[in-house]
Amino acid sequence: MKSYIEKAGLGKILEKVESSERLSVEEGLQLYKSNDILALGYLANIVRNRLNGDNTYFIYNQHINYSNICTNLCKFCAFGKEKDADKAYEMSVKDVQTKVRERLDEPISEIHMVGGIHPDLPFEYYLEVLRGIKEVRPEVHIQAFTCVEIAHLAQISGKSVGDTYEVLKEAGLGSIPGGGAEVFATRIRELTCADKLPGKDWIEIAKTAHRHGLNTNATMLYGHIETLEERVEHLAALREAQDETNGFLAFIPLAFHPQNTEMANLSRTTGMDDLKNIAVSRLFLDNFPHIKAYWVMIGPKLAQVALSFGADDMDGTVKEERITHMAGADTDQAIGSNTLVKLIKEAGRIPVERDTLYKVMQVHQ
Ligand code: V47
């Protein structure tokens, strides 16, 4: 294999990967520029196996999107709507509780909840939603509110970001999902989401979460107008932040879905680019414990293949995914845990059901 990797021009990177040496920005770029997907997969698999062995994690989770009303209206998003738009909705605390109650017979350990940047819901609403979920399902872990929503909540509550986290924690918040990161580069934010929290602020809010004992995830929305340099810059910023606070659990590359968005002229990502983003992130983010292949966005079949290209996590059962489906995703809105177990086993890996913080719930031998 060594000579194969050398022929692909990646011999020096192989040496570094084998000796657990950090890759430079230039090497990150070189990986993105390579079209030798087998070489990239071989390299990423070394890191994946070193960090996680054959373990492949998944979670029994439920997604709830409390409202799609949003003042940001990003060009890549088909989910966010203006308040008086036809398809705008907002759930009451009771509506959210009903969603949770509907699935009490399933062994759900996490509720993943995000929404738009709502113009007038008061801070108390968010606290009530958290408390309301806990009332119906006291033991569930609530992973909610992206860093973008947290910035908004701090603003409407008149508190510092740190104090906002403390109040949210007391109401039941357990950790922060990785959304809203998009691509940190100012050029991309100006062209696609000018009203959104700037990239450097997203990172600051994630680091503040870590300092307040809350783990977070991180994402990158790829496959639209970003350059390879901007992708590496994004990964480098995350790696640097993780060096400081070590609070990120997983990185999830998000494949852009153009349908029903203002960028509908663009085409969907290819399988090669999906695998490449998994492999390069696994290689570059040497301090991130987990890389997720999010089956909702790349499909269960490619997510299964991604388990040999650096990914060690398939996210979870999900149920009722809306953000990607509004943008034309052709995957199901949920997947059975049996299907996840089968996909993982047939990839030659060990399915490990986890909780949000990666505590092992059950190993499916
Ligand atoms: O924040 C928006 C992105 C995110 C589109 O933390 C789009 O474990 C593709 O963050 N095409 C929501 N992506 C999803 C998300 C996520 C998913 C699964 C697990 C975790 C985690 C986080 O999706 C948004 C935005 O960055 N997004 N529109 C679109 N058209």
Q: pLDDT tens digit string along 151-199?
A: 999 999 999 999 999 999 999 999 999 999 999 999 999 999 999 999 9
How far apart CA 325 and CA 323 sit, in angstroms, is 6
| Packed helices 271-284 and 37-52: angle between N→C axes, nearest 10 degrees | 40
Per-residue pLDDT reduced to its tens digit, 203-224: 999 999 999 999 999 999 999 9
- Residue 218 Cα to ligand 1 midpoint, Å, equals 10
Sign of CA pseudo-dihedral 358, 41, 181, 230: positive
* 333 has pLDDT over 90: no
pLDDT at 229: 98
Q: Cβ(256) to ligand 1 under 6 A?
A: yes
Measuring from atom 13 of ligand 1, which residue has the nearest CA? 256
Mean pLDDT for 30-40 is: 98
Nearest CA-CA partner of 216 in 181, 187, 182: 181
Q: Cβ(253) to ligand 1 under 6 A?
A: no
Q: Cβ(315) to ligand 1 under 6 A?
A: yes
Higher pLDDT, 319 or 85: 85
Measuring from atom 23 of ligand 1, which residue has the nearest CA? 179
Q: Cβ(217) to ligand 1 under 6 A?
A: yes
Nearest CA-CA partner of 324 in 255, 264, 222: 255
* Among the ranges given (92-96, 132-136, 163-167, 320-324), the one the predictor scored with the smallest mean pLDDT: 320-324
Measuring from atom 14 of ligand 1, which residue has the nearest CA? 179
pLDDT band at 365 (very low <50, low <70, confident <90, very high): confident
* 82 has pLDDT over 90: yes
State the residue for tokens 């759900």: 108
Mean pLDDT for 74-85 is: 97
Return the structure tokens found at 224: 């639209």
Please compute Rg for the chain using Cα positions. Answer: 20
Question: Ligand 1: which atom is nearest the Cα of residue 250?
Answer: 8
Sign of CA pseudo-dihedral 195, 198, 202, 208: negative
What percent of the chain is modeled with pLDDT above 90? Answer: 96
* 62 has pLDDT over 90: yes
pLDDT at 69: 98
Q: Cβ(80) to ligand 1 under 6 A?
A: no
Mean pLDDT for 330-341 is: 91
Mean pLDDT for 296-306 is: 97
pLDDT at 319: 82
How far apart CA 39 and CA 174 sit, in angstroms, is 38
CB 125 within 8 A of CB 93: yes
Q: Give the single-character DSSP code of 39.
A: H
* 261 has pLDDT over 90: yes
179 φ, ψ (degrees, to nearest 5)? -70, 170
Which string of b and e fits 311-332 if b means at least 16 CB within 10 Å?
Answer: bbbbbbbbbebbbbbbbebebb
Homologous superfamily in CATH for domain 21-363: Aldolase class I (3.20.20.70)
pLDDT at 72: 96
Alpha helices by DSSP H, the chain? 2-7, 11-18, 25-33, 37-52, 93-101, 123-136, 147-157, 161-171, 186-192, 199-211, 228-245, 271-284, 295-298, 300-306, 323-326, 337-346
- Would you list the domain boundaries of the chain? 21-363
Beta strands 313-316 and 290-291 are: unpaired
* Single pTM value for the model: 0.98
pLDDT at 159: 98
pLDDT band at 320 (very low <50, low <70, confident <90, very high): confident
